[in-house]
A and B are shown apart, each in its own frame.
Chain A
Amino acid sequence: GAGVSQSPSNKVTEKGKDVELRCDPISGHTALYWYRQSLGQGLEFLIYFQGNSAPDKSGLPSDRFSAERTGGSVSTLTIQRTQQEDSAVYLCASSLLAGAIQETQYFGPGTRLLVL
């Protein structure tokens, strides 16, 4: 597609439920990132994929958060046993890897998650 797409655009869930957030990166982009934008924390990095592997998971806030990427394309961010503090906008970005240098990241519109 022309840009990064994310689904759903909005998700309301009850505390304790699991949620899955999806990201479709720009075609051909090998790198994929998840960020979280929340009122208290600003924009924070969660996880990075290069191809299907995730060499950097340092930003995941707890073991309730996990992510996978298949076929070097679509990625899913899963939050288990959601808590109210998980409420935020979850942003996905993708970029090209040119040699050892990562190119500019392009962001999707985000998924707004509200945990009641």
Chain B
Amino acid sequence: GNSVTQMEGPVTLSEEAFLTINCTYTATGYPSLFWYVQYPGEGLQLLLKATKADDKGSNKGFEATYRKETTSFHLEKGSVQVSDSAVYFCALSDRLGANNLFFGTGTRLTVIP
């Protein structure tokens, strides 16, 4: 079946620190992979995505590379800001049929000045 395992939080970093949030997946086919972000008081927003192996998704300084050999899609950012404080969700979809998303448990990031 399909599932996502995500690094548990919470994560607290100082401004300008390097961020990594680990995500690994199990899938029966060739899924698309996503990172969604939920800022305080707001809804889920797509942060970045990758649809095939070795693709790199990037947005707002965040990056994640689809690694089929390690079944991973780790989220990274070189220098976090206070405004990056949010909950980050790794997710996959199998693209065909219902294409519903399977989510990780979420990682809460707090960036302190």
Contacts and interface: CB of A to CB of B under 8 A. Distances in A.
B103 A43 contact: yes
Interface string B30-57: 0000101000001111100100000000
Contact of A35 (B96, B97, B101): B101
Most buried by B among A95, A102, A109: A102
Contacts of A93: 44, 101
Nearest to B51: A101
B96 A100 contact: yes
- Size bracket, chain A contacts: 20 to 34
A95 B97 CA distance: 13
A42 B101 contact: no
A107 B102 CA distance: 14
A107 B100 contact: no
Given A42-B106, A43-B103, A43-B106, A48 B98 contact: yes
Interface of B: 34, 36, 42-46, 49, 89, 93, 95-106
B43 A56 contact: no
B100 A59 contact: yes
Given A42-B103, A43-B103, A102-B93, A56 B44 contact: no
A23 interface: no
Contacts of B46: 104-106
A15 to B, nearest CB: 27
A42 B100 contact: no
User: Chain A CB within 10 Å — which of B36, B49, B100 has the most?
Assistant: B100
Given A91-B43, A107-B43, A56 B98 contact: yes
A31 B45 contact: no
A25 interface: no
18 contacts: A33-B100, A42-B105, A42-B106, A43-B89, A43-B103, A45-B100, A56-B97, A56-B98, A91-B43, A100-B96, A101-B99, A104-B46, A104-B49, A105-B46, A106-B46, A107-B45, A109-B43, A110-B43
